[in-house]
Amino acid sequence: MPTPANRGVETIDNIIEVKGLVKVYNGGIRAVDGISFHVERGEVFGFLGPNGAGKSTTIKVLTTLLQKTAGTASVDGLNVDSDAAAVRKIIGYASQEVSVDDDLTGRENLRLQCMFHHLHKADAEKRINEILKATGLEDAADRRAGTYSGGMRKRLDLATAIITRPKLLFLDEPTTGLDPQNRVAMWEYIQNLNKEGTTIFLTTQYMEEADRLADRLCIVDQGKIVAEGTPASLKAEIGADVIELALKENGETSARARARSMLEAVQGVQEIREVEGGVMVFAKNGPSLVPEIVRRLDSANLPIAQLSLSSPSLDDVFVKHTGRKLRVEEVKAPSRMPFGGARRRRRM
Amino acid sequence: MAARDFFVEVAGVFGRWLRKTFRRPSFVFFALVQPIVWFVLFTQSFARIADLPAFAQYSGGASYLTFFTGAVIIQTVMASAMQSGIGMVNDIESGYMDKMRVAPIHRASILLGKVMSDGVRILLQSIVIIVLGLVLGVTFATGVLGILAILVLAVAFGIAWSGISTLIALATRNAESTLMISILTTFPLLFLSTAVMPRTALPELVQNIVPYNPISYVAEAMHGLILNGFDYWTLLGQAFLVILVVGALTLTGTTMMFRKAVSS
């Protein structure tokens, strides 16, 4: 949401404008396939989608790291190709792979970033102390980043991205690889940054994250935008409760199809989607339909392994548009090698 | 203002690499342990080379240890120069290169700061070897001035040679390949030059290769400065000319590869 301070003062309301963006990598992989969207000044805007949806590629085009194949993209009214140098002055970027220098201390990492942004020494030192405090890294400031925990490295990486107070901050999967506790802390930190006036563009594969942080979001899949709106409006679009049914394995290959045809006849069911291991039923007044559903499957000799009833989530929105579930990986502590020499995988 | 900004950027990159170098235990190994191994073991095993008439004629009675000082400097400089590219690959792999590319800095700062830090590392390693040589009893015929000339030669050669490693690194984007190709080029070139043996004492086949190997010219200048200082300007002039040509080729290639790497 635009803050009162910047509303009306700026002539350009959208800090990001993207039209028909296409990125084809050498070798023909069409990572981004003609997407258009805009980000309003002051909001938190999310890109929700699975791995390989084109989220990182989009960020890399907007942060001037990658050249697009087709389409137009502007940041704060500046063309990302021809005005790349000017774009770099106003953005901050934290990549998916944490890129802090493990041989330098936290403070040195931040100081280097200040030098790259040409901050005056006195201002820089003041700002470094502020940010160390804000990210809870004060005590570890003069230790090498290689000795930090996963959560601390992620926070230091974020600190290097925001030390110059960018107008626009790009966060590529800011909580991937964090444990639940660190994840919640990171969410709160991102929300505070936004309250202080930073526009944030973030990508995520976690629907809770998009739901909680984003004012508006796009659901992306295979290089395309499949849905766009506020989390509430996207969920309201489903307009129904979601009954998730997992069927017991009994060797029958057509079990899902049979279940589907059995349940299609139930009064009040709006839509049925076959998913891995079972079916999802979209229906108004879900609770009142549960007994009928159980009875029908029972009479058809289709034993139920699990049944859950919920109001719609962004995950359900994703299923509705793509027919697949957003596969959320287990949260694991990132594996580390001694001396901090961990090789992190490259992503497109 | 722009010039000041550029200076600050280069200083930042330069300082980063110096810190990284001195905080790595491997640096101590490369800077100290390896030259000692070369100096002490190699020259002990091959001390009798000094008895060869062809060697004695060239060295004017100096020990193989004294002669070998130039070879240790060259070998260390080449090994050190070959590390340059590894740092670049690691930055690309870890995403740190992207972090620098998103920052509003001149692209040349990233390369220049790195090259300068390589130069300082090579300078320090060469000083260590010369001090080690003095401790072991090596005398430098051309004195302090000669030692300064050797250091300038070593750093210039090292910077020119580091371009090869950076070139391989940017082309392969793989640390293992860079290291492997580096080792495969360093040792044959070293042993097919006049670094470890005077030309007249080498087999005929190798003697024919020597003039085409740039290492020979650097070695000749080093040996000249250490052993007798004769033909001061000719040998030194030839060595710097060769370094200039190698440097122009490798650094131009590196700059082009780097531009490609940071633009796409």
What local confidence, expressed as pLDDT, does residue A221 receive? 93
For A94-149, how does the pLDDT look when each residue is reduced to its tens digit (9 = 90+)?
Answer: 998 899 999 999 999 999 999 999 999 999 999 999 999 988 999 999 999 999 99
Q: How confident is the model at residue A239 (pLDDT cuts 50, 70, 90)?
A: confident
pLDDT for residue A346 is more than 80: no
For B4, the closest chain A residue by CA position comes to A118
For A244-271, how does the pLDDT look when each residue is reduced to its tens digit (9 = 90+)?
Answer: 888 887 777 778 888 888 888 787 788 8
User: What is the distance between the alpha carbons of residues A36 and A58, in angstroms, rounded to a whole number?
Assistant: 11
Which of B8, B20, B264 faces A115 most closely, judged by CB atoms?
B8
User: What is the distance between the alpha carbons of residues B152 and B131, in angstroms, rounded to a whole number?
Assistant: 16
User: What is the distance between the alpha carbons of residues A210 and A204, in angstroms, rounded to a whole number?
Assistant: 7
Extents of the domains making up chain A: 14-230, 240-311
| Angle of CA points B197, B201, B206, to nearest 5° | 80
To probe the interface with B, which of A110, A112, A114 has the most B CB atoms within 10 Å? Answer: A112
Position of tokens 């998730």?
Answer: A244
Superfamily, domain A240-311? ACT domain (3.30.70.260)
To probe the interface with A, which of B99, B117, B260 has the most A CB atoms within 10 Å? Answer: B99
Q: H or E stretch including B105?
A: none
What local confidence, expressed as pLDDT, does residue B38 receive? 83
DSSP letters along A76-142, please? TTEETTTTHHHHHHHEEEE-SS----TTSBHHHHHHHHHHHTT--HHHHHHHHHHHHHHTT-TTTTT
| Angle of CA points A318, A280, A33, to nearest 5° | 25
Q: Which residues of chain B have pLDDT under 70?
A: 1, 230-232, 263-264
What local confidence, expressed as pLDDT, does residue B28 receive? 76
* 3-class secondary structure per residue, B159-187: HHHHHHHHHHHHHHCCHHHHHHHHHHHHH
To probe the interface with A, which of B24, B94, B107 has the most A CB atoms within 10 Å? Answer: B94
The reply to whether A240-311 shares the fold of A14-230 is no
Chain A stretch 104-123, residues whose beta carbon is closer than 8 A to a beta carbon of chain B: 104, 108, 112-113, 115-118
For B196-218, how does the pLDDT look when each residue is reduced to its tens digit (9 = 90+)?
Answer: 888 888 999 999 999 999 999 99
Question: And the tokens for A192?
Answer: 């505070």
Higher pLDDT, A294 or A43: A43
Which of B9, B16, B102 faces A88 most closely, judged by CB atoms?
B102
User: What is the distance between the alpha carbons of residues A160 and A112, in angstroms, rounded to a whole number?
Assistant: 9
B6 vs chain A: nearest CA distance in angstroms? 9
Q: How confident is the model at residue A204 (pLDDT cuts 50, 70, 90)?
A: very high
Outline where A220-285 has alpha helix (H). 231-238, 255-264
What local confidence, expressed as pLDDT, does residue A33 receive? 94
Burial class of residue B36 in the structure, from the number of CB atoms within 10 Å of its CB (0-12 exposed, 13-18 middle, 19+ buried): middle
Nearest to A347 by CA among A42, A55, A16: A55
Residue A93 contacts B where some CB pair is shorter than 8 Å: yes
Residue A65 contacts B where some CB pair is shorter than 8 Å: yes
| Size of the A and B interface in Cβ pairs below 8 Å | 72
What is the value of ipTM here, to two decimals? 0.87
Q: Helices B107-135 and B64-94 sit at what angle, rounded to 10 degrees?
A: 150
User: What is the distance between the alpha carbons of residues A181 and A152, in angstroms, rounded to a whole number?
Assistant: 12
What local confidence, expressed as pLDDT, does residue A93 receive? 95
pLDDT for residue A39 is more than 70: yes
Q: How confident is the model at residue A339 (pLDDT cuts 50, 70, 90)?
A: very low
CATH 3.40.50.2000 is the classification of domain A14-230: no
B11 vs chain A: nearest CA distance in angstroms? 9
What local confidence, expressed as pLDDT, does residue B232 receive? 64
Higher pLDDT, A240 or A59: A59
β-pairing, A199-204 vs A44-48, is parallel
pLDDT for residue A334 is more than 50: no
Taking CB atoms and an 8 Å limit, are A344 and B9 in contact across chains?
no
What local confidence, expressed as pLDDT, does residue A52 receive? 86
User: What is the distance between the alpha carbons of residues B142 and B223, in angstroms, rounded to a whole number?
Assistant: 11
Question: And the tokens for A28?
Answer: 């023909």
Higher pLDDT, B228 or A212: A212
